[in-house]
Amino acid sequence: MYKKFLIALTMFAVVGIAEAQVESETSETEEKVSLRDYVVPKKSALGIRFGYFNSIAASYQQFITDKSAIDVNFGWRPSGGFVRWAEPFTRLGGHATYQRMYPLDVRKDGTIHFFWSVGWHAGVVEWVDVEDSRGLQTGPLVGVGLDLRFEKYSINLGVLPGWDLPGGNLDQAAFFMNKGSGVAVRLLF
């Protein structure tokens, strides 16, 4: 219980620090843009995502305001993932998250955003080691991450450590499972 409390406290502290960073005035140089006046120039991004829930997935991100986005991923995970120590099942599914963005560094050629996210995942699962064993796997997701936008090259990188709630096997008291994690590479448009 103490470990879970520390993880939650750390997440809220990081969000608080990011908000304080956004609110503080930045030095006005020719290269930097004011964080308060920042407008996302390209609102959409499409690409691929590599992660735990789906080993490989199509990834789409759409900014709905200059400080929030929707991230949708749909893909496939082979038995054992692409590493052999993972669970023995195949999954087809996806997840969608709402992301609240906090620009940390804004320049003419790119931006670094810190974000927190909440969402939901769902997938059809087939266990390899049990005959005729299929099921639906679903649940909420929370996460924090970094979103790097390179406007000059029209590339977006998203790094999301995400947690599946309640996660894993309830009989093992695993509240946080790092199953929502992934890295996305997308083209901006």
CATH number of the domain at 2-25+35-188, please? Answer: 2.40.160.20
CA torsion, ordered 8, 9, 15, 19, to nearest 10 deg: 150
Alpha carbon distance 163, 176 (integer Å): 6
Between the alpha carbon of residue 133 and those of residues 73, 114, 127, 172, 184, the distances in Å are 25, 40, 6, 21, 31
Q: What is the pLDDT along the chain (189 residues), one digit of tens a residue?
A: 555 555 555 655 555 555 555 444 444 444 566 666 678 888 999 999 988 777 899 999 999 998 999 999 999 888 765 555 556 778 888 889 999 999 888 887 888 999 999 988 888 878 776 676 778 878 888 888 999 999 888 999 988 876 655 544 444 444 455 666 788 999 999
Tokens of 11: 């997440």
Residue count (the chain): 189
DSSP 5-61: HHHHHHHHHHHHHHHHHHHSPPP--SSB--STT---S--EEEEEEEESSSSEEEEEE
36-63 pLDDT, tens digit per residue, is 667 888 899 999 998 877 789 999 999 9
- Please say whether the beta carbons of 60 and 71 come within 8 A: yes
Alpha carbon distance 9, 7 (integer Å): 5
Taking the whole predicted model, whether its pTM rises above 0.75 is answered as no
